[in-house]
Amino acid sequence: MASEGREDEHPSVTLFRRYLRIRTVQPKPDYGAAVAFLEERGRQLGLGCQKVEVAPGLVVTVLSWPGTNPKLSSVLLNSHTDVVPVFKECWSHDPFEAFKDADGYIYARGAQDMKCVSIQYLEAVRRLKAEGHHFPRTIHMTFVPDEEIGGHQGMELFVQRPEFKALRAGFALDEGLANPTDAFTVFYSERSPWWVQVTSTGKPGHSSRFIEDTAAEKLHKVVSSVLAFREKERQRLQSNPHLKLGSVTSVNLTKLEGGVAFNVVPATMSAGFDFRVAPDVDLKAFEEQLRSWCQAAGQGVTLEFPQKWSEPRVTSIDDSDPWWAAFSGACKDMNLTLEPEVFPAATDSRYLRAAGIPALGFSPMNRTPVLLHDHDERLHEAVFLRGVDIYTRLLPALASVPTLASER
């Protein structure tokens, strides 16, 4: 193992591994240690540092590198500080040791999602500053809590704050996904998470009898309708090689509840579904479809939405768009192949796009299996370091986008 502090380890990798060891794991993340770490980096880099407490104990850290033209809107580089839980017994190495094996793979929760990107931003800015660069647009790096549990006490609150509006963000980068091929995936939109709870009420009684109009019977009809829709979308995805997962609507039955005893027919049963609705779907018509399935099942079947995102936005990837032109042009100069897609799950980008800020999801990890939330999440140090190089080329292009018509 190449341990931390050895002379042959790149200092950016050492810093990455330091950050990975901070246990910002849900449900009880050590946010204090993460904020202290980021403040320390800000001081060392000579950046402005602002801490915005959006909810009790939940702080957004903002590190800012002022541009030479304060009239222009800024470039926002977003990342989240929390990581998902682990099952330690399923890992080859301690998920918070940031173990590096002899081949250069770093094993840690957050290695791909998304502490790598946070450090890549910081190291790219460090390198550019050390080289004496200045750019017209201000670069803000935001490090937000709560993303892994929906962002409701993180980015969702932050975008409503005066401190966020004062950043005057014109364009944002946020997280993407690894790509196992030579290409790099970039996400210009994402599916809307709809969590649907269907509750069915019916006649109870002794389970030895053929009782009519039971809760289970009616709930079964709704479940059948939803799963038939699921199969239709699955077939649509599989039959069209041009479609990616984010282009269709997926659904899974994730909760089934009800019943009190084996010999009692329950009066109430419920099912929970996780829909991820594609951005081109008519949301009003889709909700009407869901309600019609409930009505067709019989009386006493209702639905509610524990989560329902209803503001899907699409960021332009047209060559005439100055932000996309800057991003894709810099990638072209580096000979990077981009694969634009709709993100299949949800990220904090949805709150940024809903606030009117174009955002791209991009984590520069190619030739890398997608291991976010997985056991043995890991990233090769060479892939990580190449990501620093990539941001070192991307940031000047984005921070030098010429004055837009809306900024004159």
Q: Which residues are tagged catalytic?
A: 82, 147
**Which residues, other chains included, contact 138 with Cβ-Cβ below 8 Å and sequence gap of 6+?**
64, 65, 66, 67, 70, 72, 74, 75, 168, 399
SS3 string of the chain?
Answer: CCCCCCCCCCHHHHHHHHHHCCCCECCCCCHHHHHHHHHHHHHHHCCEEEEEEEECCEEEEEEEECCCCCCCCEEEEEEECCECCCCHHHCCCCCCCCEECCCCEEECCCCCCCHHHHHHHHHHHHHHHHCCCCCCCCEEEEEECCHHHCCCCCHHHHCCCHHHHCCCEEEEEECCCCECCCCEEEEEEECEEEEEEEEEECCCEECCCCCCCCHHHHHHHHHHHHHHHHHHHHHHHHHCCCCCHHHCCEEEEEEEEECCCCCEECCEEEEEEEEEECCCCCHHHHHHHHHHHHHHHCCCEEEEEEEECCCCCCCCCCCCCHHHHHHHHHHHHCCCCEEEEEECCCCCHHHHHHCCCCEEECCCCECCCCCCCCCCCEEEHHHHHHHHHHHHHHHHHHHCCCCCHHHC
